[in-house]
Structure 1
């Protein structure tokens, strides 16, 4: 029994010793290990872009109002969703009273034109009569003058009596008066004017033209080809305010607001990738078509916010999809620059050293056969790290990656994603050396 207890205690002590030294060895190995993040080098497509959200709008929207709001709506011919062509009738106003007014105006013009015709005929007749009277008065005057001169000569020669001379003189005076009166009558006839009648006709014609324009405007038509997206017009209701909205639902645009930091990079003609929840995984292509020259303003006409200045930008969609609807929210990727088949690494992988040159650090003898191009984690001993630096030139930069150029680059190289990790590990190991020595000395 006593011997059995001794054996048990020996086993327990031995197990404790094994566990103790196992833990010490594990601590030593853990302290000697460092984690190095690497990036497997491969040629990929690199894209610098700006990500914004936006809203789908029609490329052509027309708001339809009536120019004659004083009339009520007689009939409405369309509903929301109807397809229309430019010139199609949307609604018609009740113009019963207007049509009666037009008939009366036309009658007034007809009567006035008849009066003008009669007046002109009367003037022509009176003018001819006045001319004839003037001609006769002139003949009488000339005859009276001859007779007067003849009697006067005789009277002066005492061959005629004073009574004969007096009668000749009186006859001449009457002939002169008759002639003068004939001239006055002729001038009166000539000056007789139809201006008032003609002026009345012009007024009536202007009234008729205005009435016909109102009648024409009472037929409300679509200004464009498109789809009816709003109907406010109601039969027997007033024709005031917004009556219809017609939109081109075939040709869509996306509208977005871009901040002042990014707007300088945006140019008309840049390609855009459009995504929406309603499209699933499908992407629609577009192009930047319009950039506002001024910042967006509030209702009072002032810049909305001095701390968040934004510029309205429009993207024309170059592809169509029936699932894309006006009013949908979309995610827009505006491509600033794009390069294909280039090497790229995370920003921190490129370091600028004291000589002013840029370098990356590549693990020697380490190649990743997966060619994933994604960062991976390498756990190794600090003393086992064997890295060489390669001088590179940088090119296109994106939010996370930068293009690198060098003739020494090869697919599969494992680039240290952050060379500062090695420096930090070296500093850390110096502080751990004493602990490591103590742990080793304990064996």
Structure 2
């Protein structure tokens, strides 16, 4: 064997011995080094700061008058004044109304005496007519009642005589049968004489009940006649009462000038009351178009805002519109209490753009210190994601290549978790994760077995599952910029 072959053989043996030694224990100096970061809770919340103005939650209440021909004689309030329901806001010129009221009251007084006398006479006629009609009805009812009583009496007589007739008939039949079956002629003759006498009684009873029946039929006709008489009396009484009432109504209509004056007087008194314009509810005076000494042709005197319920009106830029939703939390500050923060919530965002942007309204939990017209600063939490387990976006990867035509929802995402081994090395575990909230740097993740404090590979591009690696923990006691810088340097 030549010397060259011996050197090759020795080299191969050395390689085999070295490989066998590595199988027992890894040399950290020869392992791939990767940067990892602890899986930790981060605040991924996002906010939007806006300027706004304190306004009433309700639309402005317009104070109007329909007395547009009257001048405003006195204004009792100024813009910014707080008023309560019932407070007098202004007065209109009432002199012409008061003059018309005095004239009408005199006319009504002069005509009321005669009118009232005639009216009372007609009322008396109506009462007398009603009394007379009731008397006729009562008389007809009395005759009807007497006829019904007579009928009942004759019916009793009929029933009694009918029963007597049937009883006597039975007795007569018995005598006749006895006579026919008598044992001797003398006895038969005596029984026949008794039979004849009994038949006389039968005839008298029959005559009595037939007479009662005839009277009953006659009384039925009488009762029917009196029932019609009662109805006729009622109709007549109602007709006469209606006629008397018609006379009253006709008189009232034909002498309606006095009634018209009274109605006009009531209207003028209402107008007089309206010359003192009062607040219908509590609020703050927002505008006063009315002027003393002038009429309000359009009827608008002033406007009020409800100060008991206020909100902050903000204008949202078009680029931020879709990030602001109803129900989002907000923090409000005002110059008057600059060190205090007030919690609130987004009530609504209008879909129509105004001159300054899209209008949004923030309800305040405690509006005690807020006044209409104040300036306010609003910080809206557009993404509420505190204490979220998150990693840098670069730590998450997909097995598929990015493709604009691929549906993002169909992709599966993964991270590499570095699991510590018994020899202080780390083995990479590929974990499928679900992504949640994210910002420019971090993304929320969740996956099987992942928990706070796990080591997640920061730059997974050079790694594969089950790699044995040496880790360098980054991000401890550093800010995000330093962490990213360390990763890039290592890379």
TMscore range, shorter length:
0.5 to 0.7
CA distance in 1, matches of 2:419, 2:125: 125
- Map residues 356-367 of structure 1 onto 2, 5 A cutoff: 356-360=411-415
Q: Secondary structure at the match of 2:107?
A: helix
CA distance in 1, matches of 2:123, 2:63: 55
Deviation at 1:413, TM superposition (A): 5.2
CA distance in 2, matches of 1:333, 1:125: 81
Deviation at 1:290, TM superposition (A): 4.2
Per the normalisation by structure 1, the TM-score is 0.52
Deviation at 1:348, TM superposition (A): 4.6
Tell whether 2:368 aligns with 1:317: no
The match for 2:56 is 58
CA distance in 2, matches of 1:409, 1:270: 29
Asked if the contact 1:279–1:324 (Cα under 8 Å) also holds between the matched residues in 2, the reply is: no
CA distance in 1, matches of 2:248, 2:488: 118
Long gaps (5+) in structure 1: 1-35, 128-186, 299-303, 366-385, 430-443
Determine which of 252, 267, 272 is the counterpart of 2:310: 252
Per the alignment, do residues 58 and 38 of structure 1 end up closer, same or farther by CA in structure 2, a change over 3 Å counting?
A: farther
- Map residues 286-305 of structure 1 onto 2, 5 A cutoff: 286-290=344-348, 295-296=351-352
Tell whether 2:65 aligns with 1:79: no
Q: Secondary structure at the match of 1:314?
A: strand
The match for 1:271 is 329
Per the normalisation by structure 2, the TM-score is 0.48
Asked if the contact 2:389–2:444 (Cα under 8 Å) also holds between the matched residues in 1, the reply is: yes
Q: Which structure: greater helix fraction?
A: 2
Asked if the contact 2:348–2:361 (Cα under 8 Å) also holds between the matched residues in 1, the reply is: yes
Deviation at 1:99, TM superposition (A): 0.8
CA distance in 1, matches of 2:259, 2:113: 14
Per the alignment, do residues 347 and 113 of structure 1 end up closer, same or farther by CA in structure 2, a change over 3 Å counting?
A: farther
The match for 2:380 is 333
Determine which of 416, 425, 430 is the counterpart of 2:458: 416
The match for 2:279 is 222
Asked if the contact 1:116–1:194 (Cα under 8 Å) also holds between the matched residues in 2, the reply is: no
CA distance in 2, matches of 1:387, 1:325: 64
- Cα deviation per residue 1:18-37 (whole Å; 9 max; x = unaligned)? xxxxxxxxxxxxxxxxxx99
CA distance in 1, matches of 2:391, 2:120: 102
CA distance in 2, matches of 1:37, 1:281: 43
Per the alignment, do residues 324 and 123 of structure 1 end up closer, same or farther by CA in structure 2, a change over 3 Å counting?
A: closer
CA distance in 2, matches of 1:288, 1:402: 26
Determine which of 371, 389, 393 is the counterpart of 1:343: 389
Deviation at 1:91, TM superposition (A): 0.9
Asked if the contact 1:106–1:208 (Cα under 8 Å) also holds between the matched residues in 2, the reply is: yes
Q: Secondary structure at the match of 1:56?
A: strand
What is the Cα-based RMSD across aligned positions, in Å? 4.8
The match for 2:41 is 43
Deviation at 1:117, TM superposition (A): 2.5
Asked if the contact 1:62–1:247 (Cα under 8 Å) also holds between the matched residues in 2, the reply is: yes
Determine which of 341, 348, 364 is the counterpart of 1:283: 341
The match for 2:145 is none
The match for 2:3 is none
Asked if the contact 1:48–1:397 (Cα under 8 Å) also holds between the matched residues in 2, the reply is: no
- Map residues 38-437 of structure 1 onto 2, 5 A cutoff: 41-47=39-45, 54-60=52-58, 61-120=60-119, 194-240=251-297, 242-256=300-314, 268-275=326-333, 280=338, 282-290=340-348, 295-296=351-352, 312-320=359-367, 322=369, 325-326=372-373, 328=375, 330-335=377-382, 338-354=384-400, 356-360=411-415, 391=431, 392-397=433-438, 401-406=442-447, 407-411=449-453, 416=458
Asked if the contact 2:52–2:376 (Cα under 8 Å) also holds between the matched residues in 1, the reply is: yes
Structure exhibiting the larger radius of gyration computed from Cα positions: 2
Q: Secondary structure at the match of 1:194?
A: helix
- Cα deviation per residue 1:90-117 (whole Å; 9 max; x = unaligned)? 1111101111111212222333322322
Q: Secondary structure at the match of 2:367?
A: coil
Asked if the contact 1:286–1:318 (Cα under 8 Å) also holds between the matched residues in 2, the reply is: yes
Per the alignment, do residues 345 and 202 of structure 1 end up closer, same or farther by CA in structure 2, a change over 3 Å counting?
A: farther
